[in-house]
Structure 1
């Protein structure tokens, strides 16, 4: 049976998506290091694909802020610029603080926060330890604050900022102590919000984000250095 037109149209999109996800994972896992250069042909050979889906995936990664294109010398993983990430963290903090202040004192807030209270204010024996799952849950917690605030433009900007921070934010949950701290801190933020103390809730939330930022900065620097050391050892071994 021959593929339908719809199936034919889906194939390159699915392949481009697969290449996009693989390259993004390689960047997240420091298999592709900040500053590494490569060509479309190199990726096409590695992925056993034509240049069209590779180019589509790379331009999507460029829009997401993970790679840069140099028209005379190919592509490059975006060099790590902590000032850039700190600027994103500042925007994220402003948005989340504004959202929490809007929510504090709102009628029916406990009902609106019911799902978050169930997830984060549970007994220690009910807490999860899967770092990948916790990274997603943490993101969803902060997304929910913006969604519940009712300003969809703020929520959209916040989601875009968090997408660009994801490359380093997910590292926050590679340490057991940070998983425990996140449960405790999210629970405390929710309880402060329910108490109606907007300033204290906003202040603690800001501190919570700042601790996470400093933690992932330290882990990221360590991971990059370790990856560079492995790369140099492999080169010398060859």
Structure 2
């Protein structure tokens, strides 16, 4: 039997997901320009679902559209990234404060799951930068979820997605992977033993280091990251 035609909304969702992945995996670089027609040809789709996907990415802050010259991946805005990192710190410090105020015999399941992931021996630690980057983002998001405020967790997830492209670059160096495991272990140990002030100081320092790495990222590093991923799919 012939394959049923894909529903327009499903096709737009698929194109949206592929383009966002292209941005996060550096196949589409900050500043890169392209047209709707080029994307439609590559995706083997009509312009309508392509346009829907592009406008969604524009609303989320990943793309800009220019009259006559088409679409562009939004260039890196370091002032905005600084503000997003500051918002992360506010949310995560409050999450730690709430977690440390819980009764001493009560640990949320999410916190226990984090301990199983991060408080492991050296030989059991992952070394793939992309995998550790995903785990690192999940670590910080799960702290917010464990704290129990759904709106705080939602805002934190949105912030995390906006800075994901830079956090990925933070894990291209092996020493950053090792430090992340060590720092997460220290933060979790302080939370689990209700050392609130220490846990907050550790977490703030951990994020500040990541924030400092943002300022060391250059276009050269971005292009180097693109060389390490597969070519743009046809």
TM interval, short-chain normalised = 0.7 to 0.9
C-alpha distance after superposition, 1:127-180 (max 9, x if no partner): 111222212211111111111111111011001111111111122222111111
Instruction: Say which SS state the counterpart of residue 163 (structure 2) adopts.
Output: helix
Kindly indicate whether the alpha-carbon contact (under 8 Å) linking 1:168 and 1:217 is maintained by their aligned counterparts in 2.
no
1:165 aligns to what? 163
Report the Cα distance in structure 2 between the residues aligned to 1:12 and 1:124, rounded to whole angstroms.
48
Q: How does 1:188-203 map to 2 (within 5 A)?
A: 188-203=186-201
1:42 aligns to what? 38
Q: After TM superposition, give the deviation of residue 71 of structure 1 in Å.
A: 4.0
Kindly indicate whether the alpha-carbon contact (under 8 Å) linking 2:40 and 2:46 is maintained by their aligned counterparts in 1.
yes
Alignment gaps of 5+ in structure 1: 231-238
2:20 to 20, 24, 36: 24
Q: After TM superposition, give the deviation of residue 218 of structure 1 in Å.
A: 2.1
Report the Cα distance in structure 2 between the residues aligned to 1:123 and 1:46, rounded to whole angstroms.
45
CA shift in 2, pair 1:163/1:227, >3 Å: closer
Kindly indicate whether the alpha-carbon contact (under 8 Å) linking 1:96 and 1:142 is maintained by their aligned counterparts in 2.
yes
Instruction: Say which SS state the counterpart of residue 50 (structure 2) adopts.
Output: helix
Alignment gaps of 5+ in structure 2: 228-234
2:71 aligns to what? 75
Q: How does 1:208-227 map to 2 (within 5 A)?
A: 208-224=206-222, 226=224
Instruction: Say which SS state the counterpart of residue 75 (structure 1) adopts.
Output: strand
1:176 aligns to what? 174
Correspondence 1:85 to 2:105: no
Runs of 4+ deviating beyond 6 Å: none
2:58 aligns to what? 62
1:126 aligns to what? 124
C-alpha distance after superposition, 1:49-101 (max 9, x if no partner): 21012112111211221101234432111111111111111111110011001
Q: CA RMSD in A?
A: 2.3
CA shift in 2, pair 1:188/1:215, >3 Å: same
Larger relative helix fraction: 1
Task: Determine which structure has more spread, i.e. the larger CA radius of gyration.
Answer: 1
Q: After TM superposition, give the deviation of residue 227 of structure 1 in Å.
A: 7.9
Q: After TM superposition, give the deviation of residue 45 of structure 1 in Å.
A: 2.2
Q: How does 1:5-16 map to 2 (within 5 A)?
A: 8=5, 10-16=6-12
Kindly indicate whether the alpha-carbon contact (under 8 Å) linking 2:126 and 2:132 is maintained by their aligned counterparts in 1.
yes
Report the TM-score, using the length of structure 1 for normalisation.
0.84
Aligned residues: 225
